Chains A and B, each alone.
Chain A
């Protein structure tokens, strides 16, 4: 189980432009002194992400009634990957002023690294609840069923659990403890709700 986050992080780092990360799972993330970035084929990552959700369903006993287990596995996987990602990508940044800055970093920089676009809409009630809305979620762009609409939306929800964990892990490693829930009303739009724990 712990091999998988180590395998996934290099994919994300290599997608960031101008990064000199290697694409092998076992070696360190930076090779000092290499001039050209080694890039990873994006289709590989897409297929890996698709298969990851299927894998969790396959390896859970009685996965029909035990959605909690599948959610937990995907979320924890995302948590570890999120932690590693922020470790890597906040290296040259100045310190964060407050929690809002951290959330903005996730909306802009982290989302651009992973999904090549920023969060479209950020709302907050200034009391520890943030709502992030992505109107064109990259992983939903190819998902479609025959009827479209509600059926596709229901089947797409498990694919949001990994990004939930990603956000929670990123926040946690930057010092913010939170709970993240995701929902989608119509593909390809999705919303992530972050609840910051009171300190």
Chain B
């Protein structure tokens, strides 16, 4: 079961947030923004503290806890896609890739969208919901 999706811009601002299932605490809009900024900072730190010498680290990819698993996919352009799901859900990597597909189709190809701004597109919402339902969220 997929709990929620976050999309964070390359500057650390929250572009998109959606809850799909109950199970996570409800936050205010401001708290979502703080969460995104904090995660952006933590991700930047983790990409620099890899203990393996001379390696280029990818930064935080999976964060596992008792009651949830957080997956992060950072694109080559610096946009981060986060999915928080229950620990038993498999193939979240694939879901993140397909979310990226939907993003590049309905956000990047939408002439009414300004890059790095919050995403306000009905078609994007509809297709994300359809995707998450399809992968059993």
Contact = CB atoms under 8 A, between A and B. Distances in A.
B109 A50 contact: yes
Main SS at interface, chain B: loop
Contacts of A152: 112, 122
Nearest to A50: B111
A187 to B, nearest CB: 9
B110 A144 contact: yes
Contacts of A46: 109
B112 to A, nearest CB: 5
A148 B112 contact: no
Interface in B55-108: 105-106
A144 B111 contact: no
B121 A144 contact: yes
B109 A144 contact: no
A50 B123 CA distance: 17
A127 to B, nearest CB: 37
Interface string A128-165: 00000000000000111111100010010001000000
B120 interface: yes
A145 B109 contact: no
B124 interface: yes
A53 B110 CA distance: 13
Contacts of B112: 143-145, 152, 155
A17 to B, nearest CB: 22
Contacts of B122: 144-148, 152
Interface residues of A, number: 16
A54 B110 contact: no
Main SS at interface, chain A: helix
Contacts of A147: 122
A43 B108 CA distance: 10
Given A53-B111, A54-B111, A152-B112, A142 B105 contact: yes
A26 B106 CA distance: 32
A144 B120 CA distance: 8
Contacts of A43: 109
Contacts of B121: 144-146
24 contacts: A46-B109, A47-B109, A50-B111, A53-B111, A54-B111, A142-B105, A142-B106, A142-B110, A143-B110, A143-B112, A143-B123, A144-B110, A144-B121, A144-B123, A144-B124, A145-B120, A145-B121, A145-B122, A146-B120, A146-B122, A148-B122, A152-B112, A152-B122, A159-B111
Given A43-B109, A142-B110, 7 more contacts: A46-B109, A142-B106, A144-B110, A144-B124, A145-B120, A147-B122, A152-B112
